[in-house]
Each structure stands twice: as C-alpha cells, then as structure tokens.
C-alpha cells in the first residue's frame, strides 16, 4: 500500500499484523512439493505443505494443532511436545501463505494434529476456504477416529469429505498402533462413519498405512474388507510408509535461511509380497524409530489391493509427495 504514508504503514504493521503466523524455514522437494515451518505469535511451531500435481491440482495439507496429543506410533507429529489447538486465523493463514504464491484448489486436514479435537476452528476455517478457491467438496478432514467429532461432523458445517485413519482391522493391533482405539473402539467409530455417510451421501475415505510384517498380510486384507460394509460407503486409500526419524524432546528454533536443502531419505528395506499366514505379527513398539517400522514393498501393496478389490472394495494407492523433505504423510514434526 505505497499510497499510504510510510509512518502509517509502519504503525499498521505493528498494530494489524499481515498474518497470525511467522513463516520460517521453507523446503522444496524434487517433485515440486513445498513445506513451510510456521510459528504462532506465542512461539508454537507447525508445518503446512503445498502439493503440486501434473494434472493441475494444487492441494494444501493443513495443520489443526501444534503437535498432536494422540501419539500414534508411526507418526512423527505425535513425538512432538503438544502445544495447543490452532485458531481459525492460524489455520487460514497457512492456506493464504500459499495462495499468495499461486492458485490453490484442494485442501486436506492431514497435517499436524487431530482436526476433530479442534472442530470449531477447523469448521470455521472450512467455511472460508471457498473464498480462496477451495470448494468444500475438495476439502477433506482426516481423523484417527475421534468419535464425538465424527458425530458432530455428520450434522454440522459445510459438506466436506471425511477420511478415517484405520490402519488395522484387528482391535488389539489397532490399539498398539493408535492408542486412541482404547478410548474409541473401531466398531463404534465405523458406526459413526456410516451415520456420516448416510447424512452426507458421500463415501468415507479409509486411510491404511502399509507396514511390512505388521498389517500387510492377506488375511488382514480380508479382515479389512469384511469390516467395510456396505461396500459403496467406503473407499480405501493404501499409503506407503514414509520413514520418520527418532523422537525429539522439543523442536529446534527455526533456521534463519529461507530455504532448507532437500535431504535424501534412506533406502527402504527389502520387502516381500503377501504370503501365507504367520503365527503372529511382529508387535509394533509404542514409540518406534525407523529401524522398528518398514514400509511394505510394491508387490505386497499390489497384492493387498488386489485382495480388497476382489471383494468389491474400491481401492487406490496414494502417490507419495515430498518425502525427500519430510513433508509426506506422517513426517511433519517441525524439525526446521
């Protein structure tokens, strides 16, 4: 606003901040994915991601909390110290940061935090996303199965999409992977998802992280298919596992330089396709490191997909984006 006196501009900058977030370290992946580390006014760290696709989609991965209190064993965010819920403005300012660079048209609440634990602010932000080019039908909210939020989402807010992080059809294994399952068992969560489906008339996206020797066997695919009734209510999205580093007590301060060079991720361990049933799966640790979890190989993922599709379950495999800058699913941890 160069038509205003400099003194007035300086005063406005101090009294009316341009954004509720301070952008820090930025990283650009080899596939065009961009990640930004932000800090709130009270110093809480969070990350957001812009994913660029060849078909023209520009999809934002937004955070709803600084950190996450739910400590899923395969997710880097759960190892952070939990900060707090983000405000409506702090959620929107993530989207606006990228919108100032280029047009955006999709958004997923799959960044840091459990969106349904901050549902008021998430829904308020969703109401305003169409104003920057992101339709409600192109917005998805992902949950680990926070039951009260799913019930509310069936009745409140704009017609956004619902994604359920499921990851295991067996209750005991799911509780090991995701402690929230002890509080809200999978059976109750799926019933709430079906209520959402019946009211919203949209498919529930089921996210399933492929972990070698943990949840990728043939009989586990069959068990998953048996859970997802009626078939037309669900669509499964198989997610290749992305390596995560060891836990940190707290995130470091942001770097001063604008661009953080992409870091090369270690090669995945050799994998094997789905085979006959074993006596028991390797029990996952509560807080594993890279060495404790390995991603399923391509053959195993393809066989798992085939087992689901043979039983009438619509299934896709997620295209991994931003892995070389720790921007892929499960990797956000505000490391700088």
Residue-wise DSSP of 283-319: PPPSS--TTT--BPPHHHHHHHHHHHHHTT--EEEPP
- Which residues fall within 8 angstroms of residue 300, CB to CB, at 6 or more apart? 210, 212, 216, 271, 272, 273, 274
127: left (phi over 0), alpha (psi -120 to 50) or beta: alpha
Instruction: Give the CA angle between residues 28, 266, 166 to the nearest 5°.
Output: 80
Residue identified by tokens 């909210």 is 141
CA 274, 291, 266, 83 dihedral sign is positive
Question: Contact, 321 vs 51, CB < 8 A?
Answer: yes
Q: Which of 61, 75, 193, 329 is catalytic?
A: 329
Where helices occur in the chain by DSSP H, the ranges are 6-15, 88-99, 119-128, 147-153, 171-177, 180-183, 186-200, 218-227, 298-310
Catalytic residue status for 68: no
Q: Which of 34, 47, 90, 114 is catalytic?
A: 47
85: which DSSP letter?
Answer: B
Q: What 3-state class would DSSP assign to 328? A: coil
Tokens found for residue 173: 């294994």
Work out the end-to-end distance of the chain between its first and last CA atoms, rounded to an integer number of angstroms.
32
Tokens found for residue 223: 């068990």
290: left (phi over 0), alpha (psi -120 to 50) or beta: alpha
67: left (phi over 0), alpha (psi -120 to 50) or beta: left
Active-site positions read 47, 329
């Amino acid at each position: 606003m160069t038509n205003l006196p400099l003194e007035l501009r300086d005063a406005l900058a101090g009294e009316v901040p341009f954004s509720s977030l301070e952008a820090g370290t930025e990283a650009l992946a080899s596939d065009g994915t961009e990640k930004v580390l932000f800090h709130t006014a009270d110093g809480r760290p969070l990350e957001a991601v812009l994913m660029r696709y060849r078909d023209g989609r520009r999809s934002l991965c937004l955070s709803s909390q600084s950190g996450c209190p739910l400590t899923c064993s395969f997710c880097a965010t759960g190892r952070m110290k939990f900060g707090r819920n983000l405000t409506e403005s702090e959620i929107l300012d993530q989207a606006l940061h990228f919108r100032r660079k280029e047009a955006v048209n999709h958004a997923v609440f799959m960044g840091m935090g459990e969106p349904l634990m901050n549902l008021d602010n998430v829904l308020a932000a969703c109401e305003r996303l169409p104003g920057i080019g992101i339709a409600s039908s192109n917005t998805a909210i992902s949950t680990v199965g926070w039951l009260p939020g799913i019930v509310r989402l069936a009745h409140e807010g704009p017609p956004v999409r619902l994604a359920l992080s499921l990851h295991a059809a067996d209750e005991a294994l799911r509780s090991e992977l995701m402690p929230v399952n002890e509080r809200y068992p999978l059976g109750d969560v799926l019933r709430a998802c079906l209520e959402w489906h019946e009211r919203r008339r949209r498919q529930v996206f089921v996210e399933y992280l492929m972990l070698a020797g943990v949840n990728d066997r043939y009989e586990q695919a069959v068990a998953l298919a048996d859970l997802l009734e009626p078939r037309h209510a669900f669509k499964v999205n198989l997610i290749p596992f992305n390596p995560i580093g060891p836990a940190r007590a707290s995130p470091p301060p942001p770097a001063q330089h604008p661009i953080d060079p992409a870091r090369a991720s270690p090669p995945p361990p050799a994998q094997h396709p789905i085979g006959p049933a074993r006596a028991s799966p390797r029990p996952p640790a509560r807080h594993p490191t890279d060495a404790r979890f390995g991603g399923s190989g391509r053959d195993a993922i393809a066989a798992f997909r085939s087992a689901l599709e043979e039983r009438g379950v619509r299934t896709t495999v997620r295209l991994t984006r931003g892995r070389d800058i720790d921007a892929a699913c499960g990797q956000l941890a505000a490391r700088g």
